[in-house]
Amino acid sequence: MEKSSMFINKILPARQPGPVSPFRVIVRKEVGDHIRSWRFIVMLLLILFTFAGAMYVSLSNIRQAVANSGDPDHLFVYLKLLTTSDNSLPTFHIFISFLGPLLGIALGFDAVNAERSNGTLIRLVAQPVYRDNLLLAKFYGALLVVGVLFLSLVLLMIGGGLLFTGVPIELAECLRVMAFVVLSVVYVAFWLSLSICLSVLFRYAATSALTAIGIWLFFTVFYQIIVNMIMRSIVPDAAYLPEESVISFNNLFLSLMRIAPSQLYTDAATTLLMPSVRSLGPLTMEQMAGAIPAPLPFRESLMIVWPQLTGLIAATTACFALSYWLFMRKEIRT
């Protein structure tokens, strides 16, 4: 308890000697609560284990990966650490696409309804604090914890890679890794925002948790099956279709799939961590003609993933705006 307080004081130092703003006070409390909570510790252990497993597999195979001159990305050692696998274990970003939503849900599913049922919400809003600050502080506090967690993991990965390979990290690699961290945080932020919204909407924490997990299950398991079924029912045999129609159906399929946040995340993470990925849609032979299989500069990769990134940010903002609207309109007693 004392140690965690010291940690919080280090990352969120209170301004001395004047009073701290109420927003910062709530953020500090939220960070402290998350760090001490069992659900976060369990999620942290799960992510640490998967990270350790993915790193072990990629470090075991890194020699072959960087020696493969046929791979245009073979010189990006640190990106290879995040993407190399021998198929025994998924790569780290695939794990995050599964565990990230659970982390977001775990940190936000009872953000408001637990305060309401414990009787602390009315006590909080009776203090000289703006009501929206409360919601924002809950979001920001959880996001800070997620950000610190992901940043620590990639720094651990870079440190481990440096010790193991002795190869210094390039600026382009560092930028890509940091962009991956930002992307992962935004991805978790969406699920966090959604679960906070559900915690405002539903009176009981169990209802909001089950609903959030239901939405996650739907997008993770059932959504792809449903989209495949729809496409199979509306697309005629591709062998009889002209090229434009095939491309158009393919684009439709991808557009439908990109409604799922996990698809947006996987698309963007793959592009950021594999510099040779040039497009996230179908390419014609004409477009491919003359293209040299070389890695793209970071800026170009960022432009490719920009729609995915802004899509995730927009979804997060929409969920947060909805929770804000619901929270501000809801009577404090109900």
CB nearer another protein, residue 7 or residue 298: 7
Interaction with another protein in 124-143: which residues (CB under 8 A)?
Answer: 124-130
Q: Which stretch binds another protein (CB under 8 A): 10-18, 53-61, 145-153, 162-170?
A: 10-18
CB nearer another protein, residue 106 or residue 181: 106
CB nearer another protein, residue 20 or residue 162: 20
Cα(243)–Cα(250) distance, integer angstroms: 10
CB nearer another protein, residue 124 or residue 213: 124
Structure token digits, residue 148: 């610190």
10 near another protein, judged by CB under 8 A:
no
Q: How far is the CB of 198 from another protein (least distance, A)?
A: 21
Cα(282)–Cα(17) distance, integer angstroms: 60
Q: How far is the CB of 152 from another protein (least distance, A)?
A: 24
CB nearer another protein, residue 14 or residue 288: 14
> If you write DSSP's letter for every residue of 215-283 in order, what string do you get?
HHHIIIIIHHHHHHHHHHHH---GGGS-HHHHHHHHHHHHHHHTTSHHHHHHHHHHHHH-TT---SS--
The greatest distance separating any two alpha carbons of the chain, rounded to the nearest whole angstrom, comes to 76
236 near another protein, judged by CB under 8 A:
no
Size of the site for another protein (CB under 8 A): 29
Cα(259)–Cα(219) distance, integer angstroms: 9
**Site for another protein, rule CB under 8 A:** 14, 16-20, 22, 25-26, 29, 33, 36, 115, 118-130, 331-333
